[in-house]
Chain A
């Protein structure tokens, strides 16, 4: 029988005990005030930085309000933000880091559908709720997972496409609309949505054309649509190429109505597109301009008080980013409160328990169910246009 070394075990034990004790001693007073962390993964640099700024502003304001009212579960709410640079692999790294190291209770996403699509499987696998305040790709919430942790407080491509078709028919009496879409995953998502929506509305299509994000001259594509007899155009693209579509239409002298996804709202569309910008109607979930709701005015004042850089409504663009993120943050806090705990599965079920919330975009009534992970629907979409640099709602 080998001789035991009596001094080794006790030392290890003592050490282990010491570590444990110091851990408890060190942790217990902090625990009481330790914040509940939520993570943000969005583009904070590069071309999409403005969207990240809007989302951050909305979250920041909501967190201030929540913490003034006592936080969640008696603990303060805290945001940990990471830049995904609009790059899916960087978004995935950031999401893992936030969940595993920072211990976030929920994640908020950003502008880019491809990034959100990459993060959602991780959220589902690690059972941490993900709430999208912007990216509209249909598959983000309708992801087919048996255990779905992806929620959204934003537009959904499939529903936007239905709304675009309905608007073109109702407002312009469209009988044979055509579509011009950006050649990427976002355009693809809307191509499917538009084809389905046109089929549901029993309308023939004049064709679907694509453009590259850097294209300058869309006359050839638009000529094909005009020759095919398009009487209205659906447009899906970011602000730059959307402006090029309008300029090309102007040059052709083709005065076809344009009904667009919300790309034009992402920048100085009226400066880039010139006078033709006024003809484009695009979907929004929220506008500050022309919004008389007391909550909208109060939030605008609070934003101005919090950030001196905000002086007028032209500084709170894109408003959808602010409003969606603001409501999303409040809904996350309500879900944690309803769960009574911070474990992922409990918080996820907490979303289903939210009975109502009087938000910035609307008053939510049971916003989420196991079958419906999108808090906003076609009734919440507003059509808007540019007027003197501001986004103004044209009709509900």
Chain B
């Protein structure tokens, strides 16, 4: 039972981590987040189903096309729901992105249909046995993708020109602009990449779950909790928090029973934030005067 619980927890935890990385990315660059992340999870899975199953494209092509679709969504969210408000110094992007997510969910319900559908994958065809627990190969792939994405983002920020540009924008947009960095394009890139991460999470979870127009909503909420818990400014913290969240969820369900899961998990989150208000690996914001 322990192995099964561990693997369930790590798998789900990495999903939360991936979506939460998207929150981290846009927050680090622009101080804003896209609350339609849950809808981007749905969009990734729905497009994967439409391209891969309904249109019968080869899977690699279907995946690439789905992620491209998510990138477009990220760009649209930034251009239409975030930038118009941020440039006027308004925080209305909070509501605008929530509203955008609701619109997208309903549009998907309208076009994709109400019934959940199945996205088959060779990675969930037969379970393999690890220490007495049945595991689908896909479940092992999910944590790998999650950790790899976190490391990649960290490396990009620390080692590359683009990453340093992103950080510069985050620290002082005006100064970055004067240094010749295209701030608007950098922020747009962050939103596109953030939606791609969510879409990847949707594509990874779809074969284990089912594809439906409302699959992403709960993910979006849990991932936001994970982002805050990890410290939204830290990529490593966010993924770590995702894994811990997933393990805690599975662990509580296995030991205390499913009735206690949400109560215990969210109590622990509140307690953790009381002890570390900026998240596990977050740093307090410094206001320079």
Contacts and interface: CB of A to CB of B under 8 A. Distances in A.
Interface centre among A49, A217, A272 (most CB of B within 10 A): A217
Interface residues on A, range: 20 to 34
A286 B109 CA distance: 29
A267 interface: yes
A252 B215 CA distance: 24
A251 B135 contact: yes
Given A47-B114, A251-B134, A216 B208 contact: yes
Contacts of B99: none
Interface stretch (B57-65, B164-172, B230-238, B254-262): B254-262
Interface string B119-139: 000000001010001111000
B205 interface: yes
Contacts of B217: 214
A240 B210 contact: yes
A124 to B, nearest CB: 32
Contacts of B116: 239-240, 243, 267-268, 272
A247 interface: yes
Nearest to A214: B218
A183 interface: yes
B278 interface: no
B114 A49 contact: yes
B218 A271 contact: no
B257 A217 contact: no
B69 interface: no
A252 B118 contact: no
B214 A220 contact: no
B79 interface: no
A253 B251 CA distance: 20
Interface stretch (A221-229, A367-375, A387-395): A221-229
A374 to B, nearest CB: 29
Contacts of A209: 257-258
A47 B214 contact: yes
Interface in B39-80: none
Interface in A212-242: 212, 214, 216-217, 219-221, 223-224, 227, 239-240
B115 A211 contact: no
A244 B1 contact: no
Given A209-B258, A251-B135, A217 B118 contact: no
A57 interface: no
B8 A220 contact: yes
Interface in B1-58: 1, 4-5, 8, 11-12
A240 B212 contact: yes
Given A46-B109, A240-B212, A219 B114 contact: no
Interface in B166-222: 205, 208-210, 212, 214-215, 217-218
21 contacts: A46-B109, A49-B114, A50-B114, A210-B257, A211-B258, A216-B12, A219-B5, A219-B250, A220-B4, A220-B254, A221-B253, A223-B1, A223-B254, A224-B257, A240-B116, A244-B210, A250-B134, A253-B134, A267-B115, A267-B116, A268-B115
Interface of B: 1, 4-5, 8, 11-12, 109, 114-118, 127, 129, 133-136, 205, 208-210, 212, 214-215, 217-218, 250-251, 253-254, 257-259, 262
